[in-house]
Amino acid sequence: MRTVLRTLLIAVSALAYSSCSNYNIETEKYILPTPVEMQKLNGIFTFEDNMSVYLNDDSLQPIKALLKESLDMNFNYVADENNASLKIILSDDIKNAGGYKLSVNNNRLVVFAADYNGAVSAISTVRQLVPVSELTKKNVKKTIPNVEIFDYPEYQWRGMHLDVSRHFYTKDEVKKLLDLMSLYKFNKFHWHLTDDQGWRIEIKKYPLLTEKGAWRKFNDQDRTCMALEKANSNPDYKLPSDRMSVIEGDTIYGGYYTQEDIKEIVKYASDRGIDVIPEIDMPGHFLAAINQYPEIACKGLIGWGQVFSSPICPGKDSTMEFCKNIWREVFQLFPYEYVHLGGDEVEKINWKKCKDCQKRMRKENLKSPEELQAWFVREMEEFFHQNGKYMMGWDEVVEDGLSDKSVISWWRSWCTDAVAKATEHGMKAVICPNSHLYFDYEQKADYLKKIYDMDIIPAGLSDEQKKLVWGVQCNIWTEWIPSQDRLEYMVFPRMMAVSEIGWCNKSRLNDFETFENKVMNNIKRLDAIDVNYRIPDLTGFYDKNVFVDKSKLEIKCVLEDVAIHYTTDGSEPTLNSPLYSSPIEVTQNTKFKFRAFRPNGTSGKIYKTEYVKEEFMPSCESVKSVEDGLMACLYDFTGNKCADIDKDKLIKTYVTEKIQYPAEKTGNLAVVFSGYINIPSDGIYTFNLLSDDGSIMKINDEVVIENDGLHSPADKTAQKALSKGLHKFELDYFDYYGGVVRLSVIDDNGEKVECSGHWFKH
């Protein structure tokens, strides 16, 4: 029975604030996400085994298991609150959904929560208040400082997505991720259970989906991981051997969850205040099913399209029933009201040729394959509603004429109007743009700040539309993330930034330096609980460093508790390699490799840098008459490296004042920028080249930066000793599916200044 306890709440607050003092544990350095209000008090609260606990509502019963597992101790639950040292109370005085008030003094810990999720968040805060030293020592009682905290989330959707199709993650691995989500107050788990590469959920009506569809021979993604493991001496890329079997001489790789496994994980998540949203991606990304039940595809047209995998055949009633039968079983396993259809990246070439699809289009008066997809999505939405569920889909479904009950997951950062379109129609939107929140993208030195600074609410929305922005989510696609260690490496620490922006009002996100310090302190906690986080970037050097006389290498890392080892003979750094302990003087050409090691001996990535002694490169003194800007030659492009550019069709030439993506064309393009770079004075210049996909920069026909090949946004930095004056300049760039290219000079303060205007002549 729910109780209004205003008088007790006020009394406890008064008691707590009356004992305020400068307690020496600076709790604000540790709590993430940052609480709305927090007051440190004098003294310490000590947890005792079999401590008495009072819960005022039956809905709090799952808290018992959560407390035991979170604090690794037993509790004694009592019916009389007056005899309890720890009280968790649902209270109408906490008005904000998911909010809580935590009052801790020497003898009593009291949580007032608006709802079950608020109580879970309070426990997560308590977990973070326990000193790291007490997590790592055995037979030590856990303590927390006396505090008074009032807290609630800004957004009601704080999600994490995990793709288990490309690589399978075991039940225990998923549970560990859920534990970490709960620790940082995430409350939605979007579980991508099916795709072309594997079917991971048992469907009893269609047993081949897991008997065959959950397993595969090694594919290109697997082989890439194997190559990365070898090339980087990195065991994080190793395919887990417990997910392999040998059948008739062939190694097959995969795994799946039984329906009992699913129920267990859903219950585990629910106990931690996390709703689970299953995704069965359709009508595309469905080859794992089509390969086992080919009759659901267009007749005679199974296989791969030009870009994405061939989809199901929506022209057949039997296919529609197949899809609905799958969902009928899924509905029984997932109690949350929303499920995710996917609906993205559908290659529709087969539909244009398929007699069944054409017949369906005539019957439903559909004019194009795009309208056929929209019909399919609307049919599934209606089916969901009939079964008491609501639809989520990737932002492609915003064009499909859905009701205002459905929700989009906005992932295509280049489709800037998707959220506006959805919210204009009354639909909610979850913000997860690939530009910021795709955690399969490589982490960069600026990623924490990039996420911290992002605006969850897109510009231009009305006040009513802003209310429909449900929250934020980070997405983990696992093509090149085969292991739990690699997963944790890609998720942490940037998951903490998502936690912060999803919980805090934007007005509170104005002190990145303090936030970054909290992250570094939380990494010590990750060490204690065995999380394979990414060690923050080592700094103090570039990919290529140039000096005229001599130079000094001074390596820096914002994380204190790492050991940096290095080599100069081309071998991979190990714990037995020389330890970096002070700046190194460099007087001759030298190639270094560095690697940082965590306290437990595991390592981060290998850094490669070279120091090159050279004279100032002379300018082109013969050039007299020039005009502002660079010449740019725009091409259609079909290759996969910059050397392929001149093989393709030239579209046009034009003059540009800076290196930039051409506004008038997207995807499958290449640009060659050429002319001169204008160097203002003799000096060593540091250039940074960012591109998605490949790029190469040359000065006086010498390659200065090579960033070639197909890749996500990546930058490289190099130095060059240049004399004052004009130098011949060329930058080659190509891209598929929408990208970016930018050239900057790094100034004496370490800031990137984009090259434009006076820098370029032709």
Domain boundaries, given as residue ranges, for the chain: 6-151, 157-202+256-490, 544-613, 630-761
Nearest to 673 by CA among 748, 730, 715, 627: 730
CA distance 529 to 531: 6
Give mean pLDDT, residues 183-207: 98
The model's confidence at residue 22, banded by pLDDT at 50, 70 and 90, is very low
Per-residue model confidence as pLDDT tens digits over 516-572: 999 999 999 999 999 999 999 999 999 999 999 999 999 999 898 899 999 999 999
β-pairing, 250-254 with 469-476? unpaired
Mean pLDDT for the stretch of residues 276-300: 94
pLDDT at 21: 33
CA dist., res. 747 & res. 754, Å (int): 10
What's the Rg (C-alpha) of the chain? 29
One-letter amino acid for residue 149 of the chain:
I
Residue 360 tokens, joined: 């369906």
3-state class (DSSP) for residue 491: helix
Least confident of 4-18, 48-62, 194-208: 4-18
Average pLDDT over residues 35-51: 94
Q: Report pLDDT digits (tens) over 720-735.
A: 999 999 999 999 999 9
Lowest mean pLDDT segment, chosen from 90-104, 289-303, 658-672 = 289-303
Among candidate residues 278, 300, 20, 9, the one with its CA nearest the CA of residue 163: 278
Tokens of 436: 């910021």
Instruction: Please tell me the predicted confidence (pLDDT) of residue 639.
Output: 92
Confidence at 309, pLDDT banded by 50, 70, 90: low
Average pLDDT over residues 139-166: 96
- Hey, which CATH number is domain 157-202+256-490, 3.20.20.80, 1.10.3720.10, 3.30.559.10, 2.60.40.420? 3.20.20.80
Task: Give the pLDDT band of residue 9 (cuts 50, 70, 90).
Answer: very low
For 457-469, the pLDDT digits (tens) are 999 999 999 999 9
- Residue-level pLDDT at 494: 96
Q: Is the pLDDT of residue 17 over 60?
A: no
Q: Does residue 306 register a pLDDT over 70?
A: no
Give the 3-state secondary structure of residue 392: strand
CA triple 244-246-247, angle to 5 deg: 125
Residue 118, pLDDT above cutoff 80 = yes
> What rounded mean pLDDT belongs to the chain?
92
Judge whether 572 and 593 are in contact, CB under 8 Å.
yes
User: Is a pLDDT exceeding 70 seen at residue 636?
Assistant: yes
Confidence band of 302 (pLDDT split at 50, 70, 90): low
**Each residue's pLDDT tens digit, 239-281:** 999 999 998 889 999 999 999 999 999 999 999 999 999 999 9
Q: Is the pLDDT of residue 10 over 80?
A: no
pTM, to two decimals: 0.88
Strand-pair partners of 418: none
Q: Is the pLDDT of residue 65 over 60?
A: yes
DSSP output for 22-82: --SS-GGGT-SSPPSEEEEEEEEEE--TTEEEEESSGGGTTHHHHHHHHHTS-EEE-S-GG
β-strand partners of 699 = 702, 729
pLDDT digits (tens, 9 = 90+) for 425-456: 999 999 999 999 999 998 888 889 999 999 99
Query: Which helix (H) or strand (E) segment is 730 a member of?
Result: strand 725-735
Read off the pLDDT of each residue in 305-311 and give the average, rounded to a whole number. Answer: 57
Q: Which of 200, 184, 215, 234 is nearest to 483 (CA)?
A: 234
Q: Does domain 544-613 have CATH number 3.30.450?
A: no
Residue 621 has pLDDT above 60, yes or no: yes
Q: Quick one: pLDDT band at residue 28, thresholds 50, 70, 90?
A: low
Closest CA to 114 of 57, 64, 166, 62: 57
CA atoms within 13 A on the CB side of 64: 15
The pLDDT score that the predictor gives to residue 2 is: 40
> Which residue type does 615 have?
E
- Place 114 in a pLDDT band, splitting at 50, 70 and 90: very high
**Taken in order 17, 21, 22, 25, is the CA torsion positive or negative?**
negative
Q: What mean pLDDT do residues 180-200 have?
A: 98
Q: What order do you get walking across the sheet with 51-55 strand by strand?
A: 37-46, 143-151, 100-105, 108-113, 86-90, 51-55, 75-77
Structure confidence at residue 26 (pLDDT): 57
CB atoms within 10 A of CB 407: 22
Q: Give the tens place of pLDDT for each residue, 343-352.
A: 998 889 889 9
Confidence at residue 301, expressed as pLDDT on a 0 to 100 scale? 56
Q: At how many degrees (to 10) do helices 171-183 and 116-129 cross?
A: 90
- Residue 622: pLDDT over 90: no
Q: Is the pLDDT score of 230 beyond 50?
A: yes
Q: Give yes or no for a contact between 264 and 171, defined as CB atoms under 8 angstroms apart.
A: yes
Total Cβ atoms within 10 A of residue 582: 6
CA distances 37 to 5, 67, 121, Å, are 20, 24, 14
**pLDDT at residue 19, as a whole number:** 34
pLDDT at 51 exceeding the cut of 60? yes
CATH of 6-151, one of 3.90.1150.10, 3.30.379.10, 1.10.8.50, 3.40.50.670: 3.30.379.10
**Which architecture characterizes domain 630-761 according to CATH?**
Sandwich (2.60)
What pLDDT does residue 25 have? 47
- For the cut 70, the answer to whether the pLDDT of residue 18 exceeds it is no
Q: Count of CB atoms within 10 A of residue 389's CB?
A: 19
Q: In what order do the strands lie in the sheet with 215-216?
A: 215-216, 250-254, 244-247
Round to whole Å and give the CA distance between 40 and 492: 28
Q: Helices (H), strands (E): how many in the chain? A: 20, 37
Cα–Cα distance measured from residue 33 to residue 183, given in angstroms and rounded to the nearest whole number = 10
**What is the pLDDT, as a whole number, of residue 445?**
81
Measure the CA–CA gap between 560 and 680, rounded to whole angstroms.
Answer: 39
